Structures are given as C-alpha cells and as structure tokens.
Homo-oligomer: A and B are copies of this chain.
C-alpha cells in the first residue's frame, strides 16, 4: 500500500485531476527516448503501460507564479534557466516542460539545452521562451540529447488535454513506484477555487528544499508576490520537513502557477482569504510530502514524527527532522521494533536547547498507541501491543518536549534492503 491516507480538513474537499484540476490547465506526456535504450530497463516505473519520459503543462491564459529551488551549490541547468525566466516573465507564465531520465546537470552545455527546451515549447505554443518553466530529473553528468525532445514537443502540444494530468504525472517519475497527484477545492468569497499539483521523487530527498520536482496549478486570482510568500511559508513546514535519505538533490524545485480563472476577487495580503489559500496549499503540499515519504526508495512504511510542546517553531522542526532522519530508527521501524532509545538518542543530538529529562515519547498507528518513554526514561510497555502498532504501514512518533506551545511534523520512511538494492546500482 503505497497510497497515503488523506487527512480530512473542514472546508476543504479533495478532488481528482491533479495538475489539471484547476480551470484552464491542460497537460500531456509522451515517451521520447531520452535514454538510449528504447525499452525501459532497470530502475523504471513499474507502471509499464504509461512509460512517458517528458511532459507539458499549459495554462489557457497568463499566470502569476512562484518557485523555490534546491539549496545545493550544484544546481541543475534547468534551475538556472527557470529562475531567469521567472525573473523576466513571472506574471505571465504559460507552460511547464519537464523530462525524466537525465537531470541535465554537471555537463558541458546544460544551460543551452534547457534554453532550447523552452524555445521549442514556446515556438510550438506561440508564446515567448521566458514564459516557460523547464525542469529535468534523472542521472547527473550526462549530456542531454535534444533531438528526442525536439521530436516530442509537437506530440506533447497535440496531446494537450484538460484531463492529461496522469500522462504528465507519470512522465516525471524516476524510481517512484506510484504517481503523486493531489487537488483540493475550497471557497474564496463565494467562488469555488481549485488548487492541484503533482510531484515526483523517492531518493535523494532531504530537508532544506532538496526535494524533487513539484508543480502546482491553481485558478485562484492571486499576485506572484503573495504566491511566493505562501509558498515560502508552506514549504518550510512540508517539503523542508521531508527526509528520505539525507541527500539533497541538485535539480529540485517546487513551483506554482495561478491563472485567476476561478473568478474570485484578487487575494489581499493579510486577509482571511489569504489564510484560506495558504491552508489549501498546506493541505496539498503536506499530502504530496507524505506521498513522497511513503514512496521513499525501498520504503515499506510512512513515518511521521510529530513534536509538540516546543518553545519555538524552529525547535519543533529541528527535533522532528533529527528523529525522522535517524538511520538507526528507520531500520527499527522497518523491523517493527519499538526501539524508543533510538528516538531519544536522535532527540538528544538535535541542535536545539531543551531539557531532555522532560521528554515524552509515544508511538502510534491506526492499530493503537503505546507510551514508551516518560521524562527522558523508558517506561514498561507491552512488546506485543507495540508490535501490533508498528506492523501498520503508517507510523506516527510523537515527541512531547514540555517547554511551550509550538509544534511541527516531519515525514520520512523506513530504511530497507530495497533502498540499498535500488541505490547500489542506479546508473546501470
């Protein structure tokens, strides 16, 4: 069960359609053979009937936009080009083109190729190259062949569809085993607004906007400035609290385009409507974050670490990330072993100030909850009950610090034989 359980939120409804859920967005995906072998091999998506490797998302009209990028010093060429384009045409973005199989990073002509991808897309759509967001994911350090992309673009344009979201979502998958899509509907001033998105990624995922490719679309009317503010705030408590293996990728981005087709009055800074929009963004991004965690390379379980009672948001985030990133704990979760000592140990080496002797730890799942540690020391619990709780595939560890009112969560997965297998020979 790689699908996550979606958490209900009052006033928000989950919807189908992913990146095409919002009004006025079409998408498409095709297989163009960016990697030499015509038949996908090895670490490919197991969804064999849709083996796309390039996709396009297009809005019917100009969009405001915002994006956040990897903090790695090694930045993929598409990141540089997209950043440039957003700086030039951030209020009139129209399209996204993204490929898998080659990250177009650490090679000699990456920027030129990324620009070529924008130009090909723009020419085919009759827009300007700077109105295009470009993204690539896959192996680092190999030349990106532009010919397959050039052949694919007309096909992508031809196949653009208001229901093309699945074709697009599967085209960006690398070692992902499930596609990752989300959409939520909510009300802004009597108008139904929709926000949807898709993501990819299962390895090389770590806090600090290392993450993966993630594209969101909305028909909300909102400025690029407010979109960026919302994105910065929400990424901090969703994507940046995700850790699969501690590695921070070179190509990752989260971007969002808003075309205003919902017909709401433009959202104002500091308004209640802005809060409603940010919460929708949080619901969507938190859901994709959990999907990314649960589909972590080789993962069998989603691990959610909740920290409460912290004296600041930063402390809560730091402790949650420290626990979710512990290889030893991840192995214990794989083995359904209630090894709370590893939780406390990871709490102890978190770079934050608090009294370890006040820390409580609980482990829970839909099968129940066990209290394993009180005031920094172990307490007796039923090993049998613990096993029942930890054999589930969505595990929550709650760390209560007892120092204040702040809370945060971080998401990850267990560390398994398959993680090692997948990463022992990714390139072949």
Chain A contact-residue range equals 35 or more
A423 touching B327 in the complex, CB below 8 Å, given contacts A337-B428, A356-B73, A377-B141: yes
Q: Is the CB–CB distance between A339 and B427 below 8 Å? A: yes
Does residue A318 face the partner (Cβ distance < 8 Å to B)? no
Bitwise interface map of A from 68 to 79 toward B, beta carbon under 8 Å scored 1, else 0:
000111100000
* Known interface pairs A74-B345, A415-B420; 15 further A-B residue pairs with C-beta atoms within 8 A, sorted by A's residue number: A105-B341, A106-B376, A106-B377, A139-B341, A140-B344, A141-B341, A206-B349, A245-B328, A247-B326, A248-B345, A248-B349, A332-B423, A334-B420, A417-B421, A420-B420
Number of copies: 2
Within 8 A of B (CB), among A217-269: 245-250
In the complex, what's the smallest C-beta–C-beta distance from A175 to chain B, in angstroms?
11
A80 at the interface (CB under 8 A from B): no
A328, B204: Cα distance in complex, Å: 7
CA distance A421 to B348 in the complex (A): 25
B335 near A425: Cβ-Cβ < 8 Å: yes
Q: What are the interface flags for A317-332 relative to B under an 8 Å C-beta threshold, 1 for contact and 0 otherwise?
A: 0000000011110011
Contact at B424–A341, with CB atoms within 8 Å? no
Whether B106 and A335, one on each chain, are in contact in the complex, defined by CB atoms closer than 8 angstroms, is: no
Report the separation of the CA atoms of residues A345 and B426 in the bound assembly, to the nearest whole angstrom. 15
Once the chains bind, are A341 and B106 in contact (CB under 8 Å)?
yes
> Do A426 and B337 touch (CB < 8 A)?
yes
B contact residues around A249 at 8 Å (CB): 345
Query: A312 in the interface, Cβ–Cβ < 8 Å?
Result: no
Give Cα A342–Cα B426 distance, bound, in whole angstroms: 11
Could you give, for residues 327-367 of chain A, a 1 whenever the CB lies within 8 Å of some chain B CB and a 0 otherwise? Answer: 11001101101011110111111100010100000000000
Whether A247 and B344, one on each chain, are in contact in the complex, defined by CB atoms closer than 8 angstroms, is no
* Residues in chain A within 8 A of chain B (CB atoms): 71-74, 105-108, 139-142, 203-204, 206, 208, 210, 245-250, 325-328, 331-332, 334-335, 337, 339-342, 344-350, 354, 356, 373, 376-378, 415-417, 419-428
> Within 8 Å CB of A248, what residues of B?
345, 348-349
The answer on a CB contact under 8 Å between B140 and A423 is: no
Measured in the bound complex, the distance between the Cα atoms of B428 and A334 in whole Å is: 14
Output the least CB separation between A45 and chain B (Å): 19
CA distance A299 to B381 in the complex (A): 33
Cβ A72 vs Cβ B349 within 8 A = yes
Contact partner of A345 among B140, B326, B422, CB < 8 A? B140
Q: Which residue of B lies closest to A74 (CB)?
A: B348
Q: Is the CB of A332 within 8 A of B426?
A: yes
Query: Please, which residues of chain B bring their CB within 8 A of the CB of A335?
Result: 423-425
Q: A6 CA to B300 CA in the complex, in Å?
A: 41
In the assembled complex, the Cα of A34 lies from the Cα of B14 at a distance in Å of: 55
Asked whether A107 and B337 contact (CB < 8 A) given A419-B331, A421-B417, the answer is: no
Cα A356 to Cα B70 with chains together (Å): 15
Please, how many angstroms separate the alpha-carbon atoms of A166 and B210 in the complex?
47
Which residues of chain B come closer than 8 Å to A141, judged between CB atoms? 340-341, 344, 373, 377-378
Whether A378 contacts B106 in the complex (CB less than 8 A), given A345-B204, A425-B335, comes out as yes
Instruction: Report the minimal beta-carbon distance from A10 to chain B, rounded to whole angstroms.
Output: 38
In the complex, the answer to whether B246 meets A326 with C-beta atoms within 8 Å is yes
Least distance between A217 CB and chain B CB atoms (Å): 29
- Interchain CB contact under 8 A, A344 and B427: no
Pairs across A and B, CB under 8 Å, 22 listed: A72-B345, A72-B349, A73-B354, A74-B345, A105-B341, A106-B378, A139-B341, A140-B344, A141-B341, A245-B327, A246-B246, A246-B325, A247-B326, A247-B327, A247-B328, A247-B346, A248-B345, A331-B422, A332-B424, A334-B424, A337-B424, A339-B426
Cα distance A244–B346 when bound, in Å? 15
